[in-house]
Chains A and B, each alone.
Chain A
Amino acid sequence: MGLGQILAKRIGYGLILLIAVVVLNFTLITIAPGDVADSIAGDMGGADAEVLAEIRSRYGLDQPFAVQLGRYISSIAALDLGYSYFYNAPVTELILQRLPATLLLVFSSQILAIAVGLLLGVMAARKPNSFTNLIVTFLSLFGFAAPVFWTGILLIILFVAIWPVFPVGGMMSALLIDAPWYEQWVNIAYHLVLPMVTLASIYLALYSRLTRASMQEVLGSDYVRTARAKGLAENKVFYKHALKNSLGPLVTVAGLQFSAVISGAVVVEAVFSWPGLGTLALQSILARDTPTIMGILFFSSLVVIVVNILTDMALRMIDPRIRAD
């Protein structure tokens, strides 16, 4: 099968999955007790009956479920994510406002996790019985075992409360809204450190263990022995021959983990008041703001599906054996 055909097949599966995501989530949100009128009333310290009835009829919440679902699917099909009940703003606008913050957090933490994870994994693989290996194993287990919100709070206590070097949350100091862009960027980077490290901590553990295991496996294989036998320098054997071949699992896992990174970002954003999609998702769920929740779910499943397809393609390029299948 050619690459084009495989791509087409993957995209087809992706579309079916998207429809399933929409229908399933819409159903789940609608069968949960309570609706956005309740949450708006809660937010307002109460409301009269007419006001609530008006909210329900305005948003079509008094319609049968099938009608609501049908309306939603037809608007999604027209690529219209609808209008947020809670914020009175188009969902697309809300998502696009928050997207840069989440992308920054997700990608910076992934780059950090992959870079440091690779480094630690390779170091540990070079000397399997060394002290370094022990430390890497310990840190990996710790990072992997600790819940991400706990790591975040721990970092806040250490670096904000006890030793105040970082801000407690947010993305940029509001005092800088009139400052030049480079000052704003520096400030954003400064705010980014703790949330990035927190989110990276889980994957750092995963990637370093994965690299170590796969390096050790590759180092024991015949062609590495051959490379060594023909007199290649150890560094060349290590980085040119072994490392490249042990990258496969890392790419696969990093790609598949993408959805987990996004859900991890929800927690990290909440802990650090990071104004991204995660905090928006959380608020919308608590507010029963169906169009916004659905918009975020639709959007993030789209991203996950696209990333998975790209991972698939990348693997085929790294490893000729998969390409041949």
Chain B
Amino acid sequence: MKRIFKTVATSVATAALLATSTMAEEPKKGGTLTMAIQQTPRHLNPAVQSGTATGQPGTQLFASLLRYDEGWNPQPFLAETWEVSADGLSVTINLVKGATFHDGAPITSEDVAFSIDTVKANHPFKSMFAPVENVETPDANTAILKLSKPHPALLLAMSSQLLSIIPKHVYGDGQDPKSHPANSEGVVGSGPFKLVEFKRGEHVILERYENYFMEGLPYLDRIVMRILPDESTRAIALESGELQMSGFESNPRNIVRLKKNDALHVSSEGYAAIGPVNWLAFNTKGEKTSDPKVRQAIAYAVDREFINKALNLGTAPTALTGIHPGSPFYDATVEAYDLDIDKANALLDEAGYAKGSDGMRFALSVDYGWPAMKPYAEYMKPQLKKIGIDVAVRSSADFPTWAKRISTWDFDMTMDNVFNWGDPVIGVHRTYSSDNIKEGVIWSNTQQYSNARVDELMEMAGATNDANKRKELYAEFQQIVANELPLYPIFASPYHTVSSTSVGNAPDSVWGTSSPLDRVYLK
């Protein structure tokens, strides 16, 4: 099957987008948007640094080849057209003409090849471009990616913060790109906004790039990203109007409060690609938790409804599998483990753990790594007591302490929140693949789960571009892991974007605020 995506002229795309927009207002040019990011980025170059702290300013500074709309459809960006060959082993990209870096130099296929090489060598997610063997550059506007096998995650990996197009004439000077001075100061980007000032702990200030390759964009003159780690501070600043936008707001109480404010718009759109799933993970090599019956019993005893109603105040979508419910591959038909204490008790009896005279069977510990996860871990204690499991909640002083414990398998159960990062190949396989049981690596397969069929399904789903075939493979995969239950998915993080009603075109694509804010405007 040969798929050719025809060019859509930028202006037409913009016009169409605006026509279908529910707010049929004419976007206004100008103004400064003040928004919050939650921590100081290590630096601003997403090509060598993952994570949302770098991603939010980074996607303004650097354009990628593609962008995605709210329905997971790839859209032209720096790539005007792209064509995947029938065998899936080559992808031809035609760059938009006239695009320039912030220093005025043209963006060429050489830069694309250099960016892909840099990301492949330095980005923490090796799976994104691992099958890319080399990038040919027959002319300045054409780049041809040669693959060792079909790679279905490739198009997503060419979008948002996963593939920033960086200038070869700046980063190709022989210095290590991970610690290149141009990552933080004097950034020469390719995106809609250029850097004015990056003050650690204070703000990132961005300014419209006048020669941006998309005609008439961006609308905003400036974006001020204030670094505000405290969620209450952000909530008050949104209410007082000091902030006009903040993404990744996840405290249920704040979300409920801000939703009642007429001057604010609160949306849960824009997090499907980041794909954060919260689960209770089991150490499948643990003395008690190695028995699937024990894990299933715990799942039956945990009341997902209660967690979503009482702890999340209805702000978080239910997640039944490790694939985010917003993903096209999500399978909602898997065993949901609805609350059933009798069944849980029966399973534990079957597993050979009879209740003692005090009504208890055995003891387990549950970990959590950061404060937001604490209520869920605490909830396990009284709830699992009902089936005779004596749960000890173990807290960690900080993230590295928890990461060390979990990644060295020193745990029974832990609350966790893991991101899908677009395609399952990038962010889901790592959790289940038996190749990825790696000591000292957090968010690897720290459950130490191993199933040959699951490995095989992931390998097949990761090596075909046929979306329907992949859907089938991932459906079988989700059925198996839902039964064997190396982890019990509970909900998708209640991430919300809060914006003032004066903000037009608030980001709602699958990449949310980690995508170019070139169409955002102030009314």
Residues of chain A at the chain B interface (Cβ within 8 Å): 32-36, 38-52, 86-89, 94, 97-98, 153, 156, 160-161, 164, 167-171, 174-175, 177, 270-271, 273, 275, 279-280, 283, 285-288
* Cβ-closest chain B residue relative to A168: B237
A44 near B124: Cβ-Cβ < 8 Å: yes
B50 is an interface residue with CB less than 8 A from chain A: yes
| Bound: A106/B13 CA distance, A | 54
A174 near B226: Cβ-Cβ < 8 Å: yes
Question: Which residues of B from 221 to 257 have beta carbons under 8 Å from A?
Answer: 224, 226-230, 232-233, 236-237, 239-240, 242
Contact pick for B199, options A39, A46, A275, A288, CB 8 Å: A275
* Cβ-closest chain B residue relative to A39: B400
Distance of A273 from chain B, by nearest CB (Å): 5
Contact pick for B441, options A36, A52, A89, A167, CB 8 Å: A52
| Bound: A168/B407 CA distance, A | 38
Distance of B239 from chain A, by nearest CB (Å): 7
List 26 A-B residue pairs with CB atoms under 8 Å apart, sorted by A's residue number: A33-B405, A34-B398, A34-B404, A38-B404, A41-B442, A42-B442, A43-B53, A44-B50, A45-B419, A45-B421, A47-B441, A49-B438, A49-B440, A52-B440, A87-B200, A88-B42, A89-B184, A156-B236, A168-B236, A169-B228, A175-B224, A177-B197, A275-B201, A285-B398, A287-B400, A288-B400
| Bound: A34/B401 CA distance, A | 5
Distance of A113 from chain B, by nearest CB (Å): 24
- Chain A residues with Cβ below 8 Å from B205 are 174, 177
Distance of A288 from chain B, by nearest CB (Å): 5
A41 near B441: Cβ-Cβ < 8 Å: yes
Distance of A165 from chain B, by nearest CB (Å): 11
B42 near A49: Cβ-Cβ < 8 Å: no
B401 near A88: Cβ-Cβ < 8 Å: no
B399 is an interface residue with CB less than 8 A from chain A: yes
Distance of A77 from chain B, by nearest CB (Å): 25
| Bound: A170/B236 CA distance, A | 13
- Chain B residues with Cβ below 8 Å from A168 are 233, 236-237, 240, 242
| Bound: A89/B224 CA distance, A | 23
B327 is an interface residue with CB less than 8 A from chain A: no
Distance of B177 from chain A, by nearest CB (Å): 11
Contact pick for B418, options A46, A94, A161, A285, CB 8 Å: A46
A50 near B126: Cβ-Cβ < 8 Å: yes
Question: Which residues of B from 122 to 138 have beta carbons under 8 Å from A?
Answer: 124-127
Distance of A74 from chain B, by nearest CB (Å): 22
A283 near B40: Cβ-Cβ < 8 Å: yes
B203 is an interface residue with CB less than 8 A from chain A: yes
Contact pick for A88, options B50, B179, B236, B427, CB 8 Å: B179
| Bound: A164/B242 CA distance, A | 11
B441 near A34: Cβ-Cβ < 8 Å: no
B400 near A33: Cβ-Cβ < 8 Å: yes
- Chain A residues with Cβ below 8 Å from B224 are 174-175
| Bound: A175/B226 CA distance, A | 11
Contact pick for A46, options B239, B240, B398, B430, CB 8 Å: B430
Grouping DSSP codes into helix (H, G, I), strand (E, B) and loop, the B interface class, with mixed when no group exceeds half, is mixed
B443 is an interface residue with CB less than 8 A from chain A: yes
Task: Knowing A49-B441, A174-B205, A279-B201, say if A43 contacts B233 (CB, 8 Å).
Answer: no
Extra 18 A-B pairs, beta carbons < 8 Å, given A46-B442, A49-B440, A87-B42: A33-B405, A38-B404, A41-B443, A42-B442, A43-B39, A43-B53, A45-B443, A46-B50, A46-B419, A49-B444, A94-B200, A97-B199, A160-B240, A170-B202, A270-B230, A271-B233, A279-B201, A280-B201
Task: Knowing A44-B50, A50-B126, say if A98 contacts B197 (CB, 8 Å).
Answer: no
Q: Which of A35, A49, A94, A273 has the most CB of B within 10 A?
A: A273
A170 near B226: Cβ-Cβ < 8 Å: yes
| Bound: A98/B237 CA distance, A | 23
Distance of A295 from chain B, by nearest CB (Å): 14
- Chain B residues with Cβ below 8 Å from A271 are 230, 233
Question: Which residues of B from 39 to 87 have beta carbons under 8 Å from A?
Answer: 39-40, 42-43, 49-53
Residues of chain B at the chain A interface (Cβ within 8 Å): 32, 34, 39-40, 42-43, 49-53, 124-127, 178-179, 183-184, 196-197, 199-203, 205, 224, 226-230, 232-233, 236-237, 239-240, 242, 397-405, 407, 418-419, 421, 427, 430, 438, 440-444
Contact pick for A51, options B124, B183, B405, B418, CB 8 Å: B124
Distance of B340 from chain A, by nearest CB (Å): 33
Q: Which of B124, B184, B443 has the most CB of A within 10 A?
A: B124
Distance of A214 from chain B, by nearest CB (Å): 39
A153 near B443: Cβ-Cβ < 8 Å: no
- Chain A residues with Cβ below 8 Å from B42 are 40, 43, 86-88
Contact pick for A283, options B32, B201, B203, B430, CB 8 Å: B201
B228 near A46: Cβ-Cβ < 8 Å: no
- Chain B residues with Cβ below 8 Å from A153 are 232
B399 near A42: Cβ-Cβ < 8 Å: yes
Q: Which of B43, B183, B202, B230 has the most CB of A within 10 A?
A: B202
- Chain A residues with Cβ below 8 Å from B444 are 46, 49
- Chain A residues with Cβ below 8 Å from B50 are 44-47
- Chain B residues with Cβ below 8 Å from A33 are 400-401, 404-405
| Bound: A46/B205 CA distance, A | 27
- Chain A residues with Cβ below 8 Å from B441 are 41, 47-49, 52
- Chain B residues with Cβ below 8 Å from A175 are 32, 34, 224
Task: Knowing A34-B401, A35-B400, say if A177 contacts B421 (CB, 8 Å).
Answer: no
- Chain B residues with Cβ below 8 Å from A270 are 229-230
| Bound: A38/B408 CA distance, A | 12
Shortest 3 CB-CB contacts between residues of A and residues of B = A34-B400, A47-B124, A46-B443
Task: Knowing A41-B441, A46-B124, A156-B236, say if A88 contacts B51 (CB, 8 Å).
Answer: no
- Chain B residues with Cβ below 8 Å from A177 are 196-197, 205
| Bound: A42/B127 CA distance, A | 18
- Chain A residues with Cβ below 8 Å from B226 are 170, 174, 273
Distance of B115 from chain A, by nearest CB (Å): 18
A169 near B237: Cβ-Cβ < 8 Å: yes
A34 near B403: Cβ-Cβ < 8 Å: yes
* Cβ-closest chain A residue relative to B241: A164
Task: Knowing A39-B400, A43-B53, A47-B441, say if A273 contacts B230 (CB, 8 Å).
Answer: yes
- Chain A residues with Cβ below 8 Å from B200 are 87, 94, 97, 275, 280
- Chain B residues with Cβ below 8 Å from A46 are 50, 124-125, 418-419, 427, 430, 442-444
| Bound: A214/B400 CA distance, A | 49
| Bound: A44/B441 CA distance, A | 12
Distance of A169 from chain B, by nearest CB (Å): 5
Distance of A89 from chain B, by nearest CB (Å): 7
- Chain A residues with Cβ below 8 Å from B401 are 32-34
Distance of A92 from chain B, by nearest CB (Å): 14
Q: Which of A44, A45, A52, A167 has the most CB of B within 10 A?
A: A45
Contact pick for A169, options B127, B178, B233, B421, CB 8 Å: B233
| Bound: A187/B425 CA distance, A | 49
| Bound: A283/B224 CA distance, A | 21
| Bound: A52/B408 CA distance, A | 14
Distance of B32 from chain A, by nearest CB (Å): 6
- Chain B residues with Cβ below 8 Å from A40 are 42
| Bound: A87/B126 CA distance, A | 22
- Chain A residues with Cβ below 8 Å from B203 are 170, 174
- Chain A residues with Cβ below 8 Å from B440 are 49, 52
Task: Knowing A34-B399, A153-B232, A168-B233, say if A43 contacts B51 (CB, 8 Å).
Answer: yes
Distance of B448 from chain A, by nearest CB (Å): 15
- Chain B residues with Cβ below 8 Å from A169 are 228, 230, 233, 237
